[in-house]
Amino acid sequence: DSSVSPVTPGEQMTARDLMYGLMLPSGNDAGNALAVICDGSVQAFVDRMNRKAQELGLSNTHFMNPHGYHHPDHYTTARDLARLTAHALQFPAFMEFVTHTQWTMQPTALRPALPLKVSAELLDPNSPYHYDGAFGIKSGSTRAAGYCYVGCAVRNGRTLLAVVLNDRIRTQAWTDLTRLFNLGFAKM
């Protein structure tokens, strides 16, 4: 159940296209390619991710790959994901990637231009699960982890961040996030 961008060996792509390939369709292949570009190997990048997690005080997080695909020694918590996301939201480049809901990868010698679209119904205005003001951050699912989502919503100049993990039904993640956002905004 690993998702791909797709990225084909030998294909030349921009890092921007790879980031959108990682963030929108959850392309694990794009995550691996970015790791190699940044640090020379997937393992070197994962080592850096773990050092950064320690620096940020994410004591219940350990990475085994750059994309989040299941591995028995790859783990985190909702709290650590929220702390990591709050840190990442400080960077304009991160905000660029997580606020786009679609992107077209440039054509390569191996394929034509490739349109990408985020799969989170929470962000789709045509979905019954759409949440006004929601943006980003990242959805993901595997059989082992269930449906997971880290997202934000903005209302009246306030931004809320919510995390759901291990929902067993895809649409339950959107329902749970809606409830969390509504509760948070009601308390503001």
Give me the percent of the chain exceeding a pLDDT of 70. Answer: 99
Residue 1: per-residue pLDDT: 66
Calculate mean pLDDT across residues 74-98.
Answer: 97
Q: How confident is the model at residue 188 (pLDDT cuts 50, 70, 90)?
A: confident
pLDDT value at 157 more than 80: yes
At 161, phi and psi to the nearest 5? -120, 135
The overall average pLDDT reported for the chain is: 95
* DSSP string across 116-137: EE---GGG-TTSTT--TTEEEE
Q: How far apart are CA 128 and CA 104, in angstroms?
A: 25
The answer to whether residues 77 and 53 touch, using CB atoms and an 8 Å cutoff, is no
Interval 48-70: pLDDT, tens: 999 999 999 999 999 999 999 99
Interval 10-48: pLDDT, tens: 899 999 999 999 999 999 999 999 999 999 999 999 999
Residue 119: per-residue pLDDT: 86
Calculate mean pLDDT across residues 122-135.
Answer: 96
Identity at 124, one-letter amino acid code = D
pLDDT value at 104 more than 70: yes
Longest dimension (CA), the chain: 53
